[in-house]
Structure 1
Amino acid sequence: MGVLLVAGSVVVGARLLAAADDTVAVWAVRDERGAGTPVRDDDLVVERVRFTDAAAQERYFGADRPVPDDVVLVRAVGAGELLARTAVGPAAATPVLRVPIEVDPHRVPPDVGAGSVVDVWVSEGPGQPAVRPALSAVTVLAAPSYDDTFGVTGARQLVVAVDDDRAAAFERLLGGLQDPVVRVLQRS
């Protein structure tokens, strides 16, 4: 009886080990990134995943090859999310305007950086209530450190990716205010 239990345990253990070897390495995004963000090697980590079939596996980028050069995210992706082929597109096919925003460093979270997804709120002058979110869920393309931009104006610059229509509406809003105050809220 003891021999049968040991043999059964060996068979079950062998099956479990064989099942553990069914995983494949795929690329996942290290940190949250927004639409329009270029996909770079240092933005990615390898995750081991078990897919139920080959068709499901083909929907993601395998880590056995690099992600193609010159691609950007076409939608926001969360930290740790597997990089789906449908989440990227050629950089040239994703038209966005690079809109610079000047903001007081105390009105933007310090960890906002390239790839962060933010909302931009605008009010009329200091101490006034926010008018409304002027831009929602936009991707930060560049975020020079405060030290790199402080010398010129005392403000921090962010560059966000915005489509033509939203950029025009944002500029109209700013142009209609005497002393606009910009606040940046980071999505998580």
Structure 2
Amino acid sequence: MARLGGATTAGARSGAAQPDDRTGARAGAAVDAVPPAQRSQRPVWRDPRLWIGVVLVAASVVAGARLFASADDTVQVWTAGSDLGAGQRLDPGDLVAQRVRFADAAALGDYFTVDDELPADSEVTRVVGAGELLPRSAVGAASSSGLVEVPIAVDAELVPPGVGPGDTVDVYLVAPLDGGGGAQPSAPAAAAGPALAGVSVVAAPAAASSFGTSGKRQLVLAVPEAEAPGFFAQLAQYDLPTFTVVRRG
């Protein structure tokens, strides 16, 4: 019995010394469940990249606000789309809207804005160059401008091809020639100066649409009303007057 008991005791001791597989599994799982050590992270608000982004966003907002503020200072006004000559009827189709910033707000009142109603039956009283702002002082009623429209027929080779509305020209009256190339005896001597000086071209159709096969080109000129009688008196002295047109620079 003692031996048996001893064996039993030894067996018990031996059994006690052997590790339990389940206990080892639990210990391994516990070790695996422990998270790895991590370094402490710097707070986000201390990251310099954050502040650089904030500065860039703020700068863009300020720049955009200034841009919109400066855009609000501009006003749309009418400008001449092409040269407008004195005596030319004012047509909205000849005008172009353009945004302009006036350093002096009071100066805006001297020009036509797109919100202004253009005077009806009005004409330009002086030359307004292409791209120039349309001043109120250069627009008047057609009946009060003191200008009349005078048409003349000019040989195509005696007028610069680029002459058009808004140009300022001088018109010379040339004595007609006889068959031999000299002046006709009955024709008076041509005046030394221009018959019309510094007049504006109101209309200048192309030669093909003016007089067809005649080879002449029509020009419509704005002539001061007081000078028109003298011009027609000169024309009456010639049977076939010839004009030469000189464009001023």
Shared fold per TM-score greater than 0.5: yes
Residues matched between the structures, number: 188
Classify the secondary structure of the residue corresponding to 1:132.
coil
Q: Are residue 156 (structure 1) and residue 217 (structure 2) matched? A: yes
Work out whether residues 97 and 164 of structure 1, in 8 Å CA contact, stay in contact via their aligned partners in 2.
Answer: yes
1:119 maps to which residue? 170
Q: Partners of 1:149 and 1:4 in 2: how far apart?
A: 70
Classify the secondary structure of the residue corresponding to 1:75.
coil
Moved more, 173-182 or 116-125: 173-182
2:194 maps to which residue? 133
Q: Give TM-score scaled by structure 1 length.
A: 0.81
Q: Are residue 46 (structure 1) and residue 97 (structure 2) matched? A: yes
1:20 maps to which residue? 71
User: Quick one: which amino acid aligns to residue 67 of structure 1?
Assistant: L
Work out whether residues 86 and 202 of structure 2, in 8 Å CA contact, stay in contact via their aligned partners in 1.
Answer: no
Larger radius of gyration: 2
Q: Partners of 1:131 and 1:176 in 2: how far apart?
A: 16
CA-atom RMSD in angstroms = 3.0
Which ranges in structure 1 are unaligned for 5 or more consecutive residues?
A: none
Q: Give TM-score scaled by structure 2 length.
A: 0.63
- Identical-residue share of aligned pairs (%): 46
Moved more, 6-15 or 137-146: 6-15
Moved more, 161-170 or 128-137: 128-137
1:109-142: CA deviations, max 9, x gaps? 2343444332212333468998333222212233
Q: Partners of 1:8 and 1:148 in 2: how far apart?
A: 61
* 1:77 CA drift (Å): 0.6
Work out whether residues 164 and 201 of structure 2, in 8 Å CA contact, stay in contact via their aligned partners in 1.
Answer: yes
Work out whether residues 28 and 83 of structure 1, in 8 Å CA contact, stay in contact via their aligned partners in 2.
Answer: yes
Q: Tell me which protein shows more helix as a share of its residues.
A: 2
Q: Partners of 1:134 and 1:82 in 2: how far apart?
A: 32
